[in-house]
């Protein structure tokens, strides 16, 4: 059990027979009336968001969730296969639990959130940035770098991202996994 004073981003709670993670919260003390806490939750099982208001000091049930390091192995018709880097056990994760599966390449390390009591995987957390090779993009025109224009590029995983005109095929780039955008070239 915890109270609203223990709220912090990323804290996992059990509400409405589901496990929710706090995305953001705000403690409000109005001039008249009792203090309260506005929170925004994200479901770890369905991905839905929920806005809820709690009275200050209200008790809530916390969920025991653990991050475990895993290595992505391969995808098949059953789902995405991962290996625990500590125990070498393999598990299969559904595509809906992975935020950007098109940015994962074989051998990549990521964290899987697992509910401690039921040992069920809740979601996969990719690293903030991944380095991927561009397999195809239109060639850039020399001297056409004055404007901030983007062109599509296909990556080695099959994902498509928008890159600046000066980026060519067979270039290693860094991609932000949170929004799937180009970050920089890797030297």
Q: Which of 15, 41, 60 is the last residue before a domain boundary?
A: 60
For residues 149-172, give the mean pLDDT: 91
123-128-131-134 Cα dihedral, nearest 10 degrees:
80
Q: Are residues 113 and 136 in the same domain?
A: no
> Is 131:173 a contact under the CB 8 Å cutoff?
yes
Q: Are residues 100 and 87 in the same domain?
A: yes
Percent of the chain with pLDDT over 70: 97
Structure tokens at 153: 């590029």
Q: Which of 60, 79, 107 is the last residue before a domain boundary?
A: 60
**In 12-128, which ranges are E strands?**
12-15, 18-28, 36-43, 49-55, 59-60, 65-76, 79-84, 90-93, 109-115, 121-125
For residues 111-132, give the mean pLDDT: 91
pLDDT of residue 44: 84
Structure tokens at 162: 């928008």
Indicate which CATH number applies to the domain containing 47.
2.30.30.30
Q: Are residues 117 and 137 in the same domain?
A: no
Q: Are residues 96 and 140 in the same domain?
A: no
* Domain encompassing residue 101: 65-125
Q: Which of 13, 41, 60 is the last residue before a domain boundary?
A: 60
Mean of per-residue pLDDT scores for the chain: 90
Asked whether the whole model's pTM tops 0.75, one would answer yes
Please say if the pLDDT value at position 165 is more than 90.
no
Q: For residue 76, what pLDDT band results from cuts at 50, 70 and 90?
A: very high
Structure tokens at 115: 């509910």
Q: Are residues 21 and 51 in the same domain?
A: yes
Q: Are residues 32 and 16 in the same domain?
A: yes
Q: Which of 28, 35, 108 is nearest to 75 (CA)?
A: 108
Please say if the pLDDT value at position 31 is more than 70.
yes
First to last CA, the chain: 49
Contacts 24+ apart (CB under 8 A), 41-49: 41/13, 41/15, 43/18, 43/19, 44/12, 44/18, 44/19, 44/20, 44/113, 44/122, 44/123, 45/18, 45/19, 45/122, 46/18, 47/96, 49/23
Indicate which CATH number applies to the domain containing 114.
2.40.50.140
Q: Are residues 111 and 75 in the same domain?
A: yes
pLDDT of residue 145: 63
Q: Which of 82, 79, 124, 102 is nearest to 175 (CA)?
A: 102
pLDDT of residue 144: 62
Query: Comparing 38-52, 89-103, 138-152, 172-186, which segment has the lowest mean pLDDT?
Result: 138-152
DSSP structural state of residue 46: T
- Our count of domains for the chain comes to 3
Q: Are residues 102 and 120 in the same domain?
A: yes
For residues 46-71, give the mean pLDDT: 92
Please say if the pLDDT value at position 141 is more than 80.
no
Angstrom distance (rounded) from CA 18 to CA 126: 23
């Amino acid at each position: 059990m915890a109270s609203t004073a223990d709220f912090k981003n990323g804290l996992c709670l059990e509400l409405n027979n589901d496990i929710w993670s706090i995305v953001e919260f705000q403690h409000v003390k109005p001039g008249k009336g009792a203090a309260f806490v506005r929170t925004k939750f994200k479901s770890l099982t369905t991905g839905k968001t929920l806005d809820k208001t709690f009275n200050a000091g209200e008790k809530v049930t916390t969920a025991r969730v653990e991050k475990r390091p895993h290595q992505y192995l391969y995808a098949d018709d059953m789902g995405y296969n991962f290996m625990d880097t500590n125990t070498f056990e393999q598990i299969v994760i559904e595509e809906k639990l992975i935020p950007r599966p098109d940015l994962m390449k074989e051998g990549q390390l990521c964290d899987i959130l697992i509910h401690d009591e039921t040992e069920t995987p809740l979601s996969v957390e990719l690293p903030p940035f991944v380095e991927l090779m561009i397999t195809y993009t239109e060639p850039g025109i020399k001297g056409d770098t004055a404007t901030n224009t983007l062109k599509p590029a296909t990556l080695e995983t099959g994902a498509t991202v928008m890159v600046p005109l000066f980026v060519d095929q067979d270039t290693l780039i860094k991609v932000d996994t949170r929004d799937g955008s180009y970050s920089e070239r890797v030297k």
